[in-house]
Amino acid sequence: MVRRRDGVHIPVSINTDFLLDKEGKLIGLIEVIRDISLVRELSAKVEEVSELKHRLGEQTKLDNMVGRCPRMQDIMAKLPIIAASKSSVLITGESGTGKELIACALHAHSPRKHAPFVVVNCSSLSEGILESEIFGHVKGAFTNAYFDKPGRFEIANGGTIFLDEIGEMSVATQVKLLGVLERGQFERVGSNDTITVDVRVIAATNRNLEEAVQQGRFREDLYFRIRVIPIVLPPLRERTGDIPLLVNHFLEKFNRE
């Protein structure tokens, strides 16, 4: 980033060519600085179009799921009503049952469909990194925090955040998440400045959160906050017709990652 004469900071690319004399000694250099603001904007648009195409593809898969299993047919019939609500949703089900597909469908059918749909896998990150990923951090908050970084809640503002495997979240991070659900506010790691967001929360787990609450591993108040609308997905052994569709979904997901 460089600052123009008017004080505006812009992204740039810098190319340097070295000037050598006949003996190969360095006698100077030429440095070309290019404004790449437009390139950044075009890149962002390409990513936006790619995300929209992905959502449309996910919706096509979901349409194919209807009718293959009576319990899934019942869930899909209720989907538009659940999608229209602002309430938090907790999707429970065994691994591989399509919890993310349902979350994506809820967002795609909701009034927030043109806003971001942000996915966070709570089981793939350590406690400190997960907190920073969800809520962001400021420069100097911890080692290697060289820049301010917005969290997933800021990125999802106006849209939906999908917290996959929320049962793996530490109690400390649960406290901070509870604050977002209650007040729509939080602070980045290392900052006292309050950030306000409007984000719908959809959570998912393959664990029995009621047992986790009884064992003190999951906050009871947070459990009831995220479980305003519960969705329980049947196991794959009861819906073998959905397996080819889900296999294709996960193959595409792993290829993207």
Query: What domains appear along the chain, each with residue ranges and CATH number?
Result: 2-35 (no CATH), 47-256 (3.40.50.300)
**How far apart are alpha carbons 48 and 114 in whole angstroms?**
10
In total, the chain counts a number of residues equal to: 257
pLDDT of amino acid 54: 57
Alpha-carbon span 241 to 94, nearest angstrom:
16
Which regions of the chain are under pLDDT 70? Answer: 1-4, 6-8, 12, 36-68, 240-257
Q: So what's the pLDDT on residue 248?
A: 64
> Residue 143: what residue type?
T
Three-state secondary structure call for residue 68: coil
Bridge partners for 89 per DSSP: 202, 229
Q: How do residues 95-129 score in pLDDT, each as one tens digit?
A: 888 899 899 989 999 999 999 999 999 998 888 78
Regarding pTM above 0.75, the answer is no
Question: What's the rounded Cα separation, in Å, for the pair 248 and 101?
Answer: 12
